[in-house]
Amino acid sequence: MGLRIHFVVDPQGWCCMGLIIFVWLYNTIFIPKVILFPHYEEGHISAVAILCYYLCSLFCIASLVRASVADPGRLPENPKIPITEREFWELCTKCNMMRPKRSHHCSRCGHCVRRMDHHCPWINNCVGEDNHWLFLQLCFYTQILSSYTLLLDFCHYYYFLPLKKDNWVRISFLPKLN
C-alpha cells in the first residue's frame, strides 16, 4: 500500500477541484479578516482561536492534495497472478485485463481499481483500496473546519461583543472616507 502519485486528466474534475480551492482560499482569507482578527484586536478571543483555524485549514487542504494525487489501487498492466489465486480473478470486459473480483473499471480514469468505491469528482480521483483512508481523512478535516467556521459565525453574531465602528470600516472593501 504505497502512496504512488496518480493524476487524472478530467476537465470536470479540474473544475470541481478549482471550485474547492477557491472556496478554501476565500474562507482562509475572508473568515479571519471579518471575524477572527477584529475580535482578536478587541480582546474577545485569543490567538489560539486564530491558530486553530489556520491549522484546521492547513490540514484540510493537505488532505485534499494527498487524496487527489494518491494512487487509488490501479492494477498493473501485466499482473502476476499466483496459481492458487486464479479462481479469485476475472477478465474486465472494458480493458481486457485480469483483475481481482472486487475490482471495478472506472470509465473516467480508464483503468481497473482494486476495491473501488467510487470516482469522486471533488478530488478528481477514484476512491479505492490504497487511498480510501485518505478520502476519509479529507472528509474528517473538512467536517472539523466546517464545524469550527460555523461555531465562529454563531459566536460572532450571538456571543461576542459587537465590534467597534472603526473595525467595520476596515473590513469593508470600499476606501475609508474622512
Q: Which residues are catalytic?
A: 120
Q: Concatenate the DSSP letters of all residues of the chain into one string.
A: ----B-----HHHHHHHHHHHHHHHHHHHHHIIIIIHHHHHTTSS-HHHHHHHHHHHHHHHHHHHHHHHB---BPPSS----GGGGGGEEE-TTT--EEETT-EEETTTTEEETT--EEETTTTEEE-TTTHHHHHHHHHHHHHHHHHHHHHHHHHHHTSPPPPHHHHHHHSSSPPP-
